[in-house]
Amino acid sequence: MDKYIEMIRIRFLMMLAYRTNYYTGILIYSINIGAYYFLWNAIYGEKSEIEGLSAIQMTTYVAVAWMARAFYFNNIDREMATEIKEGKVAVELIRPYSYLGMKTMQGLGEGIFRLFFFSVPGMVIVALIFPMEFSADAMTWALFAISIVLSFLINTQLNLLTGITTFFLYNNTGLIRAKRVLIDLFSGLLLPISFFPGWAQEIMGFLPFQGISYIPSMIFTNGFTGSEAVEGLMLQGAWVLILVVPTQILWVIAKKQLIIQGG
Amino acid sequence: MFYISMFFQYVAQYMKTRLEYRADLIVEIFSDLLFQAVNLIFILVVFDHTEFLNGWSRDEIIFIYGFFLVPYALFSSFFNIWDFNERYIVKGELDRILTRPIHSLFQIILERMELESLFGAMTGLAVMFYAGSRLGLDVSWSDPFLFVLFVMGGVLVYAGIFVMIACISFWADARTSIMPMMYNIGNYGRYPVDIYNKAIRFVLTWILPFAFVGVYPAAYFLGRDEWYGYSFLTPVIGLVFFGLSVFIWNEGVKRYRGAGN
């Protein structure tokens, strides 16, 4: 266990080394949220609510969705692809830890860093400039905290899956990019899922993506309360468990057919 | 003449290397299309819930998006310099470039071409024609010429801004992540700038003039005569920004001392 915690710590310190990256990071997120704020205000126009969300709830939703993304988002799929292509993965495989577990911990180290140095200060800045609505209820915050941890787990499993495909496809930059674009749309980051037409919502209901962004953001904005919030968490938990299966199976197959070129 | 023949020689080489890995090329074009589709879906879903965006209709917004895709595709095919700092400054590749007999910026553009992005121009045109026909827009004899002029202006605006950001590397060696931020800001020029507050509108018009790549030129074809002045400024702003960026580039190259190894 110690070595995994050490992984989180090392990755956290690595992130700390690139200072300009996080100043500009906060700026990127603030500008992004600012532009969405004006866009959504124009969309709402005179309307007081759309699909049960008021304009203020909507801007809070957008802000929280982007800030939560800083926590669950990571590039471990791209890192895995590079390590596999360069043959470095061979060395990783003989080390005394689980490769996938270690990648997850690195992602977590990155996530924790971004949560405290990025999301929290970013959120303070955004909340000072634009009107937002934060719940005072400790329960909401607790449910939200559980929810974003589950978001992280779902997103990480999907990243591991995409990373593993490098063993079979050799070059998967296109696939990695396609996955990222799909997650942005289907997870509810850009638009709450309740805004989509009924048939699209039904399809998305069968996919794991809504557990990444939609559920935590709805919990935070009080769009989901009580039993709805608990159901959302259970759905997220179920997806975490389901995704373990393909990840492990693909991983076993991948290790068997691993060919290291050179090195 | 020499520059033109250089250009075509590089294009020929590029085609050869890309066609070697066809599967990857197809996935890359597909993921480009997907990215464009996501933006379009955003507009479509939003307009399920509202009739107008500050007086602009759904089809007008789609038209602006279609227009934006054309200069954007040209820009991303030829000005793929987002990793200029790491590739050319940190790794010292610029030393090699400076020994060549053609202008350093032109050489880098040739080396970093990504012609498959040109595909986006076709989807852009398709989106524009779809929205245009729904709006019942007439095409007059001058429109194709103005379209080319405005697209060129838009490409130069984009290129100018990104070359200037790349130039920062000549003065400061700190690793900057301004580039991805600019890609985000560039997107806001697609929406009618009158929805933003005055400060943002000013920035998008005069400081980082991304509005000249989307809403301003597109407004001309949509017949929004209150914006015509801005529409016709597009090529001017493009030339000014690109000219300025080349000037700064040349000054930067003079200062460049090499990473040394």
Q: Which of A39, A184, A196 has its CB closest to that of B45? A: A196
Higher per-residue confidence, B21 vs B7: B7
Q: Which of A20, A38, A181 has its CB closest to that of B34? A: A181
CB < 8 Å to B180, chain A: 28
Nearest C-alpha of chain B: how many angstroms from A36?
9
CB within 8 A of B132, min separation 6: which ones?
A: B63, B139, B221
A 191-220: CB under 8 A from B: 191, 195-197
CB < 8 Å to A173, chain B: 24, 28
Category of B50 on φ-ψ map: left (φ > 0), alpha (ψ -120 to 50) or beta = beta
**Nearest by Cα to A191 from B110, B11, B39:** B39
| Yes or no, beta carbons of B50 and A191 under 8 Å apart | no
- Both ends of chain A: CA-CA distance in Å? 30
Q: Mean pLDDT, to the nearest integer, of B135-143?
A: 90
Residue of B nearest to A200 (CA): B45
- Between chain A and chain B, the number of residue pairs with CB atoms below 8 A apart is 91
The C-alpha atoms of residue A192 and residue A189 are separated, in whole angstroms, by 7
Q: Which of B28, B176, B191 has its CB closest to that of A174? A: B28
Residues of B with CB under 8 A from a CB of A: 21, 23-24, 27-28, 30-31, 34-35, 38, 41-42, 45-46, 48-50, 52-54, 174-178, 180-181, 184-185, 187-188, 191, 195-197, 200
pLDDT value at A112 more than 70: yes
| Yes or no, beta carbons of B41 and A43 under 8 Å apart | no
| Yes or no, beta carbons of A178 and B174 under 8 Å apart | no
Q: Which of B30, B49, B177 has its CB closest to that of A195? A: B49
| CB contact at 8 A, A4 and A97 | yes
What pLDDT score was predicted for residue B130? 94
What mean pLDDT, rounded, does chain A reach? Answer: 88
In chain A, DSSP assigns E strands to 49-50, 53-54
pLDDT value at A247 more than 90: yes
Q: B86 to each of A174, B62, B247, B261, how far by Cα in Å?
A: 22, 36, 22, 15
Q: A101 to each of A8, A160, A250, A256, how far by Cα in Å?
A: 11, 10, 15, 19
The C-alpha atoms of residue A157 and residue A4 are separated, in whole angstroms, by 17
| Yes or no, beta carbons of B49 and A45 under 8 Å apart | no
pLDDT value at B93 more than 50: yes
pLDDT value at A263 more than 80: no
Residue with the two structure tokens 């690793």: B175
Q: Which of A45, A171, A184 has its CB closest to that of B24? A: A171
| CB contact at 8 A, A243 and A161 | yes
Name the pairing type of β-strands A53-54 and B56-57.
unpaired
CB < 8 Å to A197, chain B: 45, 48
pLDDT value at A261 more than 70: no
What mean pLDDT, rounded, does chain B reach? Answer: 89
Interface check A177 vs B, CB under 8 A: yes
CA B119, B120, B123, B129 torsion-angle sign:
negative
Chain segment A185-238, per-residue pLDDT in tens: 899 998 899 999 999 999 999 999 999 999 999 999 988 888 999 999 999 999
| Yes or no, beta carbons of B175 and A20 under 8 Å apart | yes
Higher per-residue confidence, A96 vs B232: B232
Q: Mean pLDDT, to the nearest integer, of A42-56?
A: 87
pLDDT > 70 fraction of chain A, expressed in percent and rounded: 98
Residue of B nearest to A194 (CA): B45
Nearest C-alpha of chain B: how many angstroms from A7?
25
The C-alpha atoms of residue A158 and residue A150 are separated, in whole angstroms, by 13
Chain segment B149-195, per-residue pLDDT in tens: 999 999 999 999 999 988 988 887 655 667 777 888 888 888 999 88
- Testing the interface with B: which of A181, A189, A190, A204 to mutate, by most B Cβ within 10 A? A181
The C-alpha atoms of residue B195 and residue B54 are separated, in whole angstroms, by 7
Higher per-residue confidence, B235 vs B114: B235
| Yes or no, beta carbons of B50 and A195 under 8 Å apart | no
**CA angle at A109 for the pair A189 and A72, rounded to the nearest 5°:** 10
Residue of A nearest to B183 (CA): A28
How far is C-alpha A187 from the chain's CA centre? Answer: 9
CB < 8 Å to B48, chain A: 195, 197
What pLDDT score was predicted for residue B174? 59
Number of neighbouring beta carbons within 10 Å of residue A86 = 13
Look up residue A38 and give its two tokens. Answer: 């004006």
The C-alpha atoms of residue B167 and residue B243 are separated, in whole angstroms, by 13
Nearest C-alpha of chain A: how many angstroms from B203?
12
**CA angle at B172 for the pair B184 and B164, rounded to the nearest 5°:** 45
Record the pTM.
0.89
- Testing the interface with A: which of B35, B52, B179, B194 to mutate, by most A Cβ within 10 A? B35
What pLDDT score was predicted for residue B261? 45
The C-alpha atoms of residue B249 and residue B166 are separated, in whole angstroms, by 9
pLDDT > 70 fraction of chain B, expressed in percent and rounded: 97
- Testing the interface with B: which of A19, A43, A191 to mutate, by most B Cβ within 10 A? A43
| CB contact at 8 A, A21 and A93 | no
- Testing the interface with B: which of A24, A40, A48, A194 to mutate, by most B Cβ within 10 A? A24
Number of neighbouring beta carbons within 10 Å of residue B123 = 18
Residue with the two structure tokens 């290790």: A255
| Yes or no, beta carbons of A173 and B24 under 8 Å apart | yes
Chain segment A138-175, per-residue pLDDT in tens: 999 999 999 999 999 999 999 999 999 888 877 788 88
Q: Mean pLDDT, to the nearest integer, of A87-110?
A: 88
ipTM of the complex: 0.85
Residue with the two structure tokens 């998006």: B65
Helix (H, G, I), strand (E, B) or coil at A54: strand
What pLDDT score was predicted for residue A257? 78
Phi, psi of B57 (to 5 degrees): -85, 170
Helix (H, G, I), strand (E, B) or coil at B102: coil
| CB contact at 8 A, B158 and B186 | yes
- Testing the interface with A: which of B22, B29, B38 to mutate, by most A Cβ within 10 A? B38
The model's confidence at residue A32, banded by pLDDT at 50, 70 and 90, is confident
Q: B20 to each of A169, B13, B24, B117, B215, how far by Cα in Å?
A: 15, 11, 9, 17, 39
Phi, psi of B56 (to 5 degrees): -100, 135
* H or E element, residue B56: strand B56-57
What is residue B222's DSSP assignment? T
Q: Mean pLDDT, to the nearest integer, of B132-160?
A: 94
Give the largest CA-CA distance in chain B.
Answer: 62
CB < 8 Å to A195, chain B: 45-46, 48-49
